[in-house]
Structures are given as structure tokens and as C-alpha cells.
Amino acid sequence: MHKKTALITGSTSGIGLGIATEFAKAGYNIVFNGLEANGEQIAQEIGKTYQVATKFSPANLLQVSSIQGMIMEAEATFGVIDVLVNNAGIQYVAPIDEFPTEKWDAIIGINLSAGFHAAKAVWKGMKNQNFGRIINLTSAHALRASEFKSAYVAAKHGVTGLTKVLALEGATCGITCNAICPGYVRTPLVEGQIKDQAKAHNLSEEEVVNKVMLKKQAIKKFTEVHDIGKLAVFLASEAAQMITGTSIPIDGGWTAQ
């Protein structure tokens, strides 16, 4: 049996880095991707720490040819991508009448379309070996809406639909596809949102954390990146072979309401 390989988009920061670390701990080869300047260094350090092979791709997910190139290079190095985690995402918060068109396009491009292009590119390899795991990082906002987040909520709801379709198409060839739906996780993306929301709601940053963000969660705590990573590793395991097409909240009870 070959050692399994996981490609995680947007894995040189935040949740993606947490997921990559958990897959490395579990012994997977890791393909890192992200726009951070220290991506190569992160990949090397994780490889050294957990004694696994790693590779870094700076592919910009807004370009289809870059996504395809990243996956071709990863397959040339590791043979096949066993696990694809579509994690990269961006956010922008503004009322609909002020929402910049280019922000809408970028959010749909990175949060929704990139996952389609990546899944399409890994599909043949997964199908040929009759095994594959596709895990999409959506959000509680794939299941619920909040004001001022038109593009993000639309993109994440779109990924919920894509997840179900890939689950159906993968059912006869050993490929499962599931979505993980976090509530608030304290990462650079959320740090940015705290500032934006403070402006949009005319509140202090502390008030945004307590009154806006965690207001919707029954458990008043941010989710930790390693908790999400452990769930992703479980979804990639043999034990999760019958779990497909699902959206699993890890949101402190937000969507229980």
C-alpha cells in the first residue's frame, strides 16, 4: 500500500494549516497551497516535524490553469491525490448596495469555483484507484445566513450543493465527498472580519466578538483549528466510508437553532 497523500488548499494559514498538521501527524504526505510568502518554509517544517513528504504550491486558485498545474505536479510527485481538502476561502462584509462586484467575483471564484476545478482535476486519479476523499470547508453560513455576507453565504450554500452532487457521482467508485461547517474559528480571516463588522455595525471590536459573532453559538467559544483537522482526518479514514454528501457542523450549536 502506498502512503496516502492529502492536498489541502489554503493550507499555509489558519484552518488549512491546522488540517494539514493533523494529516501530517496521521502520516500522510502533504501538498500545501496558499498565497503566504513563507509557504515553502511551512511545508518543510511540517515535513521535518512529522517525518512526512511535503510539497508546496503557490497556485492562485482564481486561475483554472494554476489549479490544474498544481494537481498535475502533485500527481507527478506522489502518484495520486487520495484526499483533496478544498479549504481556501476569502470573506468580504458589506451591505448589498455597497458590495463591490470584484469582491463578489473573487469570493465565488475562490470559495466555490476553485473547489469544482480541483475536484474535477483529481477525479480521474481517485476513480482509477477506486478510493478518494473530497472534503469541502464550508461554514455555518452554508446552512444559515447573516446580513452583509451575500457573496460568502451564496458561495458556501453553492458548495453544499456541489458536495451532494460529488457524493452521488463518487458513490460507485469509492469516492466520498463531505463538507465541514465551522462556526467561528479564530484565524486571520476572522481577525479581518472583526474589524469589518465593527465598521458595518458601528461597534467596538470587543462588542463584535461577544454581541455579533458568538451571539449565534450556544457554546461561547471559538472553535480550534486542530478540532477541525481531526474531523477531516476521520472523514478521510476507512471508518468514514459510508459518510458521504453530508454537511457536518462544528459550530458550538449555532445551527441547532
Residues at the contact surface with ligand NAD, assessed by CB under 6 A: 10, 12-16, 33-36, 60-62, 87-90, 110-111, 137, 139, 182, 184-185, 187-190
Residue whose CB is less far from ligand NAD, 34 or 125: 34
- What's the min distance (Å) between Cβ of 86 and ligand NAD? 8
Residue whose CB is less far from ligand NAD, 131 or 134: 134
- What's the min distance (Å) between Cβ of 111 and ligand NAD? 6
Candidates 156, 155, 147, 153; CA nearest to 97 is: 147
Output the nine-digit C-alpha cell for 224: 480550534
Contact at 8 Å (CB) between 246 and 211?
no
92 is catalytic: no
Candidates 231, 243, 230; CA nearest to 180 is: 231
Backbone angles phi, psi at 209, to 5 degrees: -60, -50
Give the integer Cα–Cα distance in Å for 136 and 180. 6
Among 28, 50, 92, 152, the active-site one is 152
Output the nine-digit C-alpha cell for 80: 495520486
Residue whose CB is less far from ligand NAD, 82 or 251: 251
- Crossing angle of the two packed helices 114-129 and 150-170, in degrees rounded to 10: 10
- Crossing angle of the two packed helices 14-25 and 39-50, in degrees rounded to 10: 30
Residue whose CB is less far from ligand NAD, 153 or 167: 153
- What's the min distance (Å) between Cβ of 171 and ligand NAD? 25
Query: Which sequence positions are flagged as catalytic?
Result: 152
